[in-house]
């Protein structure tokens, strides 16, 4: 979500005549987009901003802005720690950044001293429709994030997002589809539909038709677009993951067999304390139903270890469900107190070393799963979407439908193409192989 927001701000600035430079050391304007989900993310952003602010001394034209969730969460209070920040812009005001920058720079050029930082963290009706601009770069764009919704009304007791992102608002379906069509026309092959709780998409604006939810209706419409070959989404909520969405995997081949389904905990007692309205049994039922429709499904999840009151037996239930779901990928977080959330005021906070231990237990399982999955791909031919040069610039990188990163030799003209790759070497995190001319999906003797 943050990457998408940053891209949109960059695109708007580029349209105003600003140039995006390769290195932060060469810029006159530095905008930090920030996350508030855990305290560590905020501390990192504050550290970075403090360090960068020193540049004002050398370059009086320098502009430093803090955007996004931490700006929204802390507002002008940030100036206590970071007095040299010029711009603080919240999550509903990203589209104002170009005007604020122009104003700041014009005032400085005119020699008008601006004593005060511009702070805008207000709410704005319709702001879910403002994140839509994509960067027009020379490089070919192969994959794209498309924002379908802003905010969240779920009130999970650990989570700061309803405060930083505001009420749940959906973009009109036709706007989203039009954006996807434009992206397809530019050569984009893979779309990731983005929202805090995509399974609730459009629930106030559209009706179910024939048992099909507005979110699945949206997927169907994107599926019809020629040129779009792969569809992903993040993040769904188990509560909204109903049969219509499970069945969609059976009939919509562009829907990639990779589902990120946040579990948070495998203990019903803790799920209740988190205000997550599903049971561990229901969660497992969704995973099983998806595997029944697509036996080759890849799963990833979000887990919080050390939520207040999480006893050894609660964690044991999380570990057991984590093991049973056989995840290919997971984001495991140590619970972080977020002031203003319900859980922040709960007693029985879990000591750090216990969180660390539980974190390690799950990471060990994940590493084994990932190794096992990757080993099972040795000798097979996978469909890979070529995204561009890898980090070294020597080879190319792309991902399988199951979202595994692949590294291989290719010709630049294959960027943006779906190609068959025979996997001949694997690590925990990546697959390595050679392009083949034979069909995709067949198994070749290793
Ligand atoms: N502490 C730790 N992890 C958190 N998450 C959200 N809030 C917290 C918190 N206070 C995790 C959840 C969520 C992911 C984006 O971040 O697992 O799904």
The tens place of each residue's pLDDT in the chain, 446 residues long, gives 999 999 999 999 999 999 999 999 999 999 999 999 999 999 999 999 999 999 988 888 899 999 999 999 999 999 999 999 999 999 999 999 999 999 998 888 888 766 679 999 999 999 999 999 998 887 889 999 999 999 999 999 999 999 999 999 999 999 999 999 999 999 999 999 999 999 999 999 999 999 999 999 999 999 999 999 999 999 999 999 999 999 999 999 999 999 999 999 999 999 999 999 999 999 999 999 999 999 999 999 999 999 999 999 999 999 999 999 999 999 999 999 999 999 999 999 999 999 999 999 999 999 999 999 999 999 999 999 999 999 999 999 999 999 999 999 999 999 999 999 999 999 999 999 999 975 444 444 43
Ligand 1: nearest atom to the Cα of 334: 2
Residue in this structure with the two tokens 């990546």, named with its chain if needed: 430
Q: State which H helix or E strand residue 44 sits in.
A: helix 39-53
Q: Where are the domains of the chain?
A: 2-120, 127-376, 381-444
Maximum Cα–Cα distance across the chain: 73
For residue 440, what pLDDT is reported? Answer: 47
For residue 445, what pLDDT is reported? Answer: 45
Ligand 1: nearest atom to the Cα of 302: 17
How far apart (Å, rounded) are the C-alpha atoms in residues 378 and 430? Answer: 11
Nearest protein CA to atom 5 of ligand 1, as residue: 37
Residue in this structure with the two tokens 């595997």, named with its chain if needed: 291
Identify which of 42, 70, 156, 159 to mutate to test ligand 1's pocket (most ligand atoms within 8 A of the CB): 159
- Distances in Å between the alpha carbon of 245 and those of 198, 211, 240, 248? 11, 10, 9, 5
Identify which of 158, 161, 262, 263 to mutate to test ligand 1's pocket (most ligand atoms within 8 A of the CB): 158
Q: Which class does domain 381-444 fall in?
A: mainly beta
User: CB 344: neighbour CB atoms within 10 A?
Assistant: 15
How far apart (Å, rounded) are the C-alpha atoms in residues 66 and 78? Answer: 9
Q: Among 3.40.1190.20, 3.30.390.10, 3.40.50.12160, 3.40.190.10, what is the CATH number of 2-120?
A: 3.40.50.12160
Cβ(45)–Cβ(29) below 8 Å: no
Nearest protein CA to atom 17 of ligand 1, as residue: 302
- Distances in Å between the alpha carbon of 174 and those of 126, 219, 220? 15, 12, 12
Parallel, antiparallel, or unpaired: how do β-strands 396-400 and 405-408 relate? antiparallel
- The CA 119 to ligand 1 mean position distance, Å, reads 27
How far apart (Å, rounded) are the C-alpha atoms in residues 93 and 166? Answer: 12
Cβ(270)–Cβ(229) below 8 Å: no
Q: Which residues line ligand 1 (CB under 6 A)?
A: 37-38, 158-159, 262, 264, 302, 304, 333, 335-336, 338
For residue 340, what pLDDT is reported? Answer: 95
- The CA 99 to ligand 1 mean position distance, Å, reads 33
For residue 140, what pLDDT is reported? Answer: 87
- The CA 305 to ligand 1 mean position distance, Å, reads 10
- The CA 260 to ligand 1 mean position distance, Å, reads 14
Closest CA to 427 of 366, 373, 371, 364: 371
Identify which of 2, 38, 264, 271 to mutate to test ligand 1's pocket (most ligand atoms within 8 A of the CB): 38
For residue 113, what pLDDT is reported? Answer: 67
CATH topology of domain 127-376: pyruvate-formate lyase- activating enzyme (3.80.30)
For residue 74, what pLDDT is reported? Answer: 96
Closest CA to 172 of 223, 128, 231: 128
Ligand 1: nearest atom to the Cα of 262: 18
How far apart (Å, rounded) are the C-alpha atoms in residues 81 and 42? Answer: 12
Q: State which H helix or E strand residue 67 sits in.
A: strand 63-68
């Amino acid at each position: 979500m943050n990457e998408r927001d940053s891209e949109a701000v960059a695109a708007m600035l580029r349209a105003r005549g600003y140039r995006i430079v390769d290195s932060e050391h060469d810029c006159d304007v530095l905008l930090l987009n920030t996350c508030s989900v855990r305290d560590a993310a905020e501390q990192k952003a504050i550290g970075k901003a403090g360090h960068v602010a020193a540049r004002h001394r050398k370059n009086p034209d320098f502009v430093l802005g803090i955007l996004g969730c931490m700006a929204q969460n802390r507002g002008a209070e940030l100036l206590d720690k970071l007095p040299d920040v010029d711009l603080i812009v919240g999550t509903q005001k990203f589209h104002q950044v170009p005007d604020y920058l122009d104003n700041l720079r014009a005032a400085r050029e005119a020699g008008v001293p601006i004593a005060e930082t511009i702070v805008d963290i207000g709410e704005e009706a319709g702001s879910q429709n403002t994140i839509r601009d994509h960067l027009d770069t020379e490089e070919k764009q192969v994959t794209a994030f498309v924002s379908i919704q802003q905010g969240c009304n779920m009130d999970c007791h650990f989570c700061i997002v309803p405060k930083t992102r505001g009420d749940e608002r959906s973009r009109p379906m036709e706007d989203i589809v039009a954006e996807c069509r434009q992206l397809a026309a530019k050569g984009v092959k893979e779309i990731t539909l983005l929202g805090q709780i995509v399974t609730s998409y459009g629930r106030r604006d559209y009706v179910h038709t024939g048992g099909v939810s507005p979110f699945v209706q949206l997927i169907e419409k994107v599926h019809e677009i020629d040129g779009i070959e792969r569809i992903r989404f993040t993040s769904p909520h188990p509560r909204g993951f109903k049969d219509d969405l499970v069945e969609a995997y059976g009939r919509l081949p562009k829907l990639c067999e990779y589902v990120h389904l946040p579990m948070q905990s495998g203990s019903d007692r803790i799920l209740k304390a988190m205000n997550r309205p599903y049971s561990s049994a229901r969660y497992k039922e969704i995973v099983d139903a998806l595997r029944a429709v697509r036996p080759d499904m890849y799963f990833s999840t979000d887990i919080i270890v050390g939520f207040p009151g999480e006893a050894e037996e609660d964690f044991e239930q999380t570990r057991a469900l984590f093991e049973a779901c056989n995840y290919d990928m997971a984001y495991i977080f140590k619970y972080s107190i977020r002031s203003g959330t319900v859980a922040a005021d709960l007693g029985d906070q879990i000591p750090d070393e216990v969180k660390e231990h539980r974190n390690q237990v799950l990471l060990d399982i994940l590493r084994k799963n990932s190794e096992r999955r990757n080993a099972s791909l040795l000798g097979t031919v996978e469909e890979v979407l070529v995204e561009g040069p890898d980090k070294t610039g020597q080879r190319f990188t792309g991902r399988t439908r199951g979202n595994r990163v692949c590294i291989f030799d290719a010709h630049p003209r294959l960027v943006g193409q779906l190609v068959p790759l025979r996997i001949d070497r694997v690590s925990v995190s990546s697959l390595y192989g050679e392009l083949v001319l034979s069909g995709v999906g067949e198994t070749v003797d290793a």
